[in-house]
Amino acid sequence: MGISSMNATINNNRKLLKNGKRKPFTKMNGGSGKPRLYKPYVLPEVFPHVLRRVRIKTKRENRRLLIKKISIGFVTLVVMIVYVMYLSQ
């Protein structure tokens, strides 16, 4: 019963698409059949030296964040080892 109804549904959907009676994907969220009512955003031009500064600043921030994460992890590890040593005595 279940398989035959699924096959019937698939066949009906195929027939609708073949005959052109149904526009595909119009009922989905933000369907492709809708016209676009907005203009696409155009990125402003940026000079290479500005991009270089941004790249250097991002690398520096990422390095500082990595150092903070490693130091916090190390301190946590040391505290856990001290706690385990304390419990074992």
Query: pLDDT tens digit string along 14-70?
Result: 777 766 656 655 555 555 555 667 777 788 888 999 999 999 999 999 999 999 999
pLDDT value, residue 76: 98
Please tell me which residue, 75 or 35, carries the higher pLDDT value.
Answer: 75
**Averaged pLDDT, 65-86:** 97
Q: What residues contact 47, with CB distance under 8 A and at least 6 apart?
A: none
- pTM beyond 0.75: no
Task: Kindly tell me if the per-residue pLDDT of 74 is higher than 80.
Answer: yes
Task: Kindly tell me if the per-residue pLDDT of 78 is higher than 70.
Answer: yes
Q: Which residue has the tokens 């809708």?
A: 34
pLDDT value, residue 57: 97
The answer to whether 25 and 33 have CB atoms below 8 angstroms apart is yes
pLDDT value, residue 34: 57
CA dihedral 70, 75, 76, 77 (to 10 degrees): 90
Integer distance in angstroms from the first to the last C-alpha of the chain?
Answer: 69
